[in-house]
Amino acid sequence: MEEYKSYIRKILVEELTTFDSELFNFLIRRVKIEIRNLGTDWYDDKKLEVTEYKFEGFLGYGFNSFLSKKEATYKILQFLVEIGLIGDDIFLRGQSLDTNHQKIMRTIKKFLDYIEFDKK
């Protein structure tokens, strides 16, 4: 019974430390969400909209709702590397077992969930 408790504590500690709150807060503070109307569909007269996610203070960086979640993750990762917030060696690691790489990827995915990126 005691080993189960220690195992559960270990899992909880890992879950709490597997996300970078500073990076998450950086992304949250700078994201600006705009919904643009592209007109209507010819047949159904449904509104066609695109949601644009831009980072304030960083012109040219952003993504839109036409991207998949994987492509949006890559765009954010590329943004963070280009502004120097994380090192460019993140691309060399790929999908490795490196804890720092996993922490950054979990943070980006948590950010995308927070801004409800793939909610249609």
> Is the residue at 110 inside a domain?
yes
> Is the residue at 79 inside a domain?
yes
pTM > 0.85: yes or no: no
End-to-end CA distance of the chain: 45
> Is the residue at 7 inside a domain?
no
pLDDT value of residue 71: 92
The confidence band for 27, taking pLDDT boundaries of 50, 70 and 90, is: very high
> Is the residue at 2 inside a domain?
no
> Is the residue at 33 inside a domain?
yes
Mean predicted confidence (pLDDT) in 72-80: 91
Helix residue spans in 31-63 (DSSP H): none
pLDDT value of residue 52: 92
pLDDT value of residue 17: 59
Mean predicted confidence (pLDDT) in 71-83: 91
| pLDDT of 87 above 70 | yes
| pLDDT of 93 above 70 | no
> Is the residue at 90 inside a domain?
yes
Q: Pick the closest to residue 76 from 100, 111, 120, 51 (CA basis).
A: 111
> Is the residue at 62 inside a domain?
yes
Domain span including residue 53: 20-114
> Is the residue at 12 inside a domain?
no
**Better pLDDT: 16 or 109:** 109
- At residue 62, the 3 state secondary structure works out as strand
pLDDT value of residue 119: 67
Number of structural domains, the chain? Answer: 1
